[in-house]
Amino acid sequence: MKTIIELENFMTTPSELLIKDIQSIDGDIMILGVGGKMGPTLAKLIKRAIDEVGINKRIIGVSRFSSGNLRDELEAMGIETIAVDLLNEDALQSLPNVENIIYMAGNKFGTVGNEHFTWAMNAYLPGRLAEKFKDSRIVAFSTGNVYPLTSVLTNGCSEDSPVNPVGEYAQSCLGRERMLTYFSYKNKTPMLIFRLNYAIDLRYGVLLEIAKQVYKGKAIDLTMGNVNVIWQGDANEYAVRSLLHVDHPPTILNVTGPETLSVRWIATEFAKRLEKEAIFENVEREKALLNNASNAHKLFGYPKVSVQEMMDMIAEWVVHGGVTHNKPTHFQEREGAF
């Protein structure tokens, strides 16, 4: 896989399970925050699924669309777009009321020094959206960062584990969850909170970051010695299919791959593929940010794309100079400063 067209075609090809489930989701689907890293491929995945079965369902992508050609790209596929600033109350209220909402808008990077904006996006806005769409089904993206670091000898935090977010980004994400839960109780709005850990694309993510460090001969910090990852296409499928599992109060669902991966092992595997030497610094700590997604796997099955397949594709992408978002994940961050 060497081009973005090949990548997106692979990532947006719906599985038979998604094609089956999309027929059971009544009504149109609106994606709030479609302009982020996952939103474009999510919208295209849904559109391809409904086209495959030939059903009449509107897919609407909402974003600022402040730069680039994403809006034209989505509309060329038959995906409707609306350009708004969700923090503008009049603009928010002007959005159409649809049966299904996938809520992806939020802020993470750049929180330090701009904490007020992160709290507005991640904790204030969810309450406004929950009031606006009180009669919809809502799948709301959250993060495994709401959990504390946990022993690498366990299977990670499950949905029943106590939350204890570190840093203002993670705290604001818990704020998002609490606001949505309040309005779910108040209005009986069916919701699902989608606690995602580390979606992987060839253009961005933990695996790409490690691969690039190996390829460039840079030392890999082992302090956060273990991670969970999931292919972005699989995470997107889970998000759409989650519309069939909303409830009030909200369903909580951890989403990631089934393995707890050693960063040292990942780097060593990339070193083999890239014919380089893996260089390390620091040592693995006893705790890491780990997410147990066994409930998601029970609902949706194991991810289609394995870790080894992801590493094969990423190694090829790096060697051939594939386009990347050129943004660090900061997965090594242990103090919650993003």
* CATH code of the domain containing 268: 3.40.50.720
Residue 327 clears pLDDT 90, i.e. is over it: no
Task: Give residue 338's pLDDT band: very low, low, confident or very high (50, 70, 90).
Answer: low
Residue 335, domain member (yes or no): no
Please give the share of the chain, as a percent, with pLDDT higher than 70.
Answer: 99
Enclosing domain of residue 65: 4-319
Residue 336, domain member (yes or no): no
Going by C-alpha positions, the residue among 194, 173, 164, 85 that lies closest to residue 126 is: 173
Residues in contact with 269: Cβ distance below 8 Å, sequence separation at least 6, in sequence order: 308, 311
What angle do the packed helices 206-216 and 263-274 form, to 10 degrees? 50
Residue 292 clears pLDDT 90, i.e. is over it: yes
Q: Give the Cα separation of 37 and 203 in Å (integer).
A: 9
Q: Which whole number is the average pLDDT over 234-244? A: 98
Q: Give the Cα separation of 143 and 122 in Å (integer).
A: 11
- Average per-residue pLDDT for the chain: 95
Task: State pLDDT tens for residues 267-286.
Answer: 999 999 999 999 999 999 99
Sign, CA torsion 48/49/54/57? negative
Residue 212, domain member (yes or no): yes
Number of domains the chain contains: 1
Residue 53, domain member (yes or no): yes
Residue 141, domain member (yes or no): yes
Structure tokens at 180: 């949505």
Residue 104, domain member (yes or no): yes
